[in-house]
Amino acid sequence: MITSSILLSYALNAHHQILSAITLLTFGSSFATGLGPIPFLLVSELVPAEAIPATSSIALSASWIANFTVALGFLPLRNALSWQGKGGRMEGEGRVFFVFLACQIVTAIVIWVKLYKR
């Protein structure tokens, strides 16, 4: 996901549509096989059997709220970080993914510290 975000930022800033499409697909695939299913898989491992339905509801609700928050803030953040270039073309649209890249790096560091630095 980190590599895809870096390449996506570059591709959007350089106006490479094909690279943008490929990196969006790789980002989505990476999320779907990495952090995406965590609310579904982790709950059954962490709580007792009688608490799984309620905890699953809370975990999935938190996941959807986080997704909604990211979707709601994406366009205003993109507009704040980009500018109108020559010929009416938007420049710097890839900068918004640097914000997400920072979140991914922090998440990777936290996971690494929690799992491997015992």
Domain boundaries, the chain: 2-116
Q: Which two tokens stand for residue 69?
A: 């928050």
Q: Where does residue 97 rank: exposed (0-12), middle (13-18), buried (19+ CB within 10 A)?
A: buried
Per-residue pLDDT tens digits for 51-83: 889 998 998 899 889 889 999 999 899 889 888
The alpha helices in the chain, defined as continuous H runs, are: 2-14, 17-33, 38-46, 52-81, 96-116
Neighbours of 17 (CB within 10 A): 9
Q: What is the pLDDT of residues 11-67, one digit of tens each?
A: 988 889 999 999 999 999 998 888 788 877 888 888 898 988 999 899 889 988 988
